[in-house]
Amino acid sequence: MLARFAVAVIGCVMMCVSVAKAQEVDRIAAVVNDEIISIHDLEGRVKLALVMSGFPDNLENRRRAVPQVLRKMIDERLQLQEANRVKISVSAEDIGRSIRGVELQNKMPTGGLLSMLSKAGVDTDAARDQIRADLAWIKLTTRVLQPNVKVGEDEINDRLDGLKQNLGRSEYLLAEIFLSVDSPAQEEEARRMGERLLDQLKAGAPFQALARQFSQTGSAGNGGMLGWVVDINLDDEIKAAVVPLGKGDVSPLIRISNGYNILAVVDKRVSGQGQAEDEIVSVAQIFFPNPAGGAVPREQLAAKAAELTAPLKTCGDFEEFGRKLNSAKSNRVNNTRKSDLPAVVQGGITNLPVNKVSAPTDGSDGLMVFMVCSRSGLGGEAGLPSREAIRRQIEDERMDLQGKRYLRDLRRAAFVDFRL
């Protein structure tokens, strides 16, 4: 009887512990308008942030990461809510292509990213949720803001004139981590967050990984990459911090008008002397797999691939055709250094004009066809970028500024209740 009673008591205690743990997991970390971020959601994203940043998963690192991650998650909920309001959705195929893009940038095999996260104990749904929010924000700002961004020919002429005058000046390929300050009450929190990120960078954390997890701007989804900037075009406070830095260096925490910046100098060069490997490119790829057993000769497959892709005139058409093929290897990589792309991609896009289809190129298990959606660094006279590259640069600058304002307005209009 006593033994049965002891077993019953132990069973009851175990049930109580399980219920307590379940209640802890289901606790609310924050409420964003009418949506809940649970402790479980937050724990998953903290684990993701630590793994992607290369930090040990210990109590101290978790404690430091929680406020940063929670702020990012709140922004993502606001972005997704606004995207839903204007009826913008992100498909599983969109997320799959974005994951493949990250894998290409990091020279990982197909499926390597999620496999690595899973082995590290990360819930891969947390990664998909973050990518979904990034893609929704890109689609949202493109639909809402892009139609209002107009660049006139006079503006392009002025920018070109300025570049001609600045030939021989230093240019910087920059990446950023941006921490917003929308009210005086957020000043101290943002400053401390920036200082913690600097500590993590000094300890060896990858800059782009931290930017993806913590930066509060549209460039976060691309690792914070901003592209090439001539020193004279930098704001005074940015210029003072960046000019003394060498390639690979990271700036101190910089207070700007709407928050704090941390900048990384990914590369440096002299304006007008950029080489092809310095280009920043966006490239779309369509993959034609080899039929099982080699049923179709390579020449026949190449001819069919060329015939099917020849009518495609824009990257939008190109990507849509790739989606119809339903191939996981058909994807797009945005704003990436050409030299960071796989050798087969570099070879396929060398001397390929923007919005032109490449010849089919041999891959490991099929054929690939490429289209360059944008490129900067070459294309104009005397080492200057083309007019189209300048137009895109000005548009990107304005989209980035308007995107920050858009998100700031969403924050100000939102009801956010912190429960931690």
240 with 255, same domain: the answer is yes
Which 8-state DSSP code applies to residue 292? G
Residue 9 pLDDT level (bands cut at 50, 70, 90): very low
- Please tell me the distance from the alpha carbon of residue 379 to that of residue 362, in angstroms, as a whole number: 27
Nearest by Cα to 387 from 379, 397, 395 = 379
Residue 73: give its domain's CATH number: 1.10.4030.10
218 with 268, same domain: the answer is yes
Read off the tokens for 314: 């824009």
> Is residue 6 domain-resident?
no
Query: What share of the chain has pLDDT > 70, as a percent?
Result: 87
> Is residue 393 domain-resident?
yes
Tally of CB atoms within 10 A around 6: 10
178 with 200, same domain: the answer is yes
User: How does pLDDT run across 52-66, given as a tens digit for each residue?
Assistant: 877 788 888 888 788
384 with 265, same domain: the answer is yes
Tally of CB atoms within 10 A around 269: 16
User: How does pLDDT run across 228-238, given as a tens digit for each residue?
Assistant: 787 777 888 88
Read off the tokens for 252: 């101190």
137 with 47, same domain: the answer is yes
- Please tell me the distance from the alpha carbon of residue 247 to that of residue 264, in angstroms, as a whole number: 8
Pairing of β 361-362 and β 259-270: unpaired
> Is residue 153 domain-resident?
no
Read off the tokens for 37: 């971020």
Tally of CB atoms within 10 A around 373: 21
User: How does pLDDT run across 90-118, given as a tens digit for each residue?
Assistant: 988 888 888 877 777 677 888 888 999 99
User: How does pLDDT run across 213-253, given as a tens digit for each residue?
Assistant: 888 887 787 788 887 787 777 888 888 888 899 898 999 99
> Is residue 66 domain-resident?
yes
Cβ(126)–Cβ(44) below 8 Å: yes
Nearest by Cα to 264 from 217, 209, 187, 189 = 209
225 with 333, same domain: the answer is no
Cβ(368)–Cβ(286) below 8 Å: yes
Cβ(96)–Cβ(90) below 8 Å: no
All residues at 6 or more sequence positions from 8 whose CB lies less than 8 Å from its CB, including other chains: none
Number of domains in the chain: 3
> Is residue 403 domain-resident?
yes
Report yes or no on whether pTM surpasses 0.85.
no
Read off the tokens for 383: 């080492």
Cβ(285)–Cβ(103) below 8 Å: no
Residue 305: give its domain's CATH number: 3.10.50.40
Tally of CB atoms within 10 A around 381: 8
Rounded to 10 degrees, what is the CA torsion of 147, 150, 179, 407? Answer: -30
174 with 99, same domain: the answer is no
353 with 405, same domain: the answer is no
Domain residues for 188? 167-275+380-418
> Is residue 9 domain-resident?
no
Mapping DSSP to helix (H, G, I), strand (E, B) and coil, where does residue 357 land? Answer: strand
Please provide the size of the chain in residues: 420
Cβ(269)–Cβ(247) below 8 Å: no
Pairing of β 416-418 and β 28-32: antiparallel
113 with 246, same domain: the answer is no
35 with 138, same domain: the answer is yes
- Please tell me the distance from the alpha carbon of residue 345 to that of residue 336, in angstroms, as a whole number: 12
**Which residue in this structure is represented by tokens 């994807």?**
331
The beta-strand segments (E) located in 299-382 are 331-337, 361-362, 366-376
245 with 295, same domain: the answer is no
User: How does pLDDT run across 304-359, given as a tens digit for each residue?
Assistant: 888 899 899 888 888 888 887 777 678 888 777 777 777 778 888 888 888 899 98
Answer yes or no: is pLDDT of 418 > 80. Answer: yes
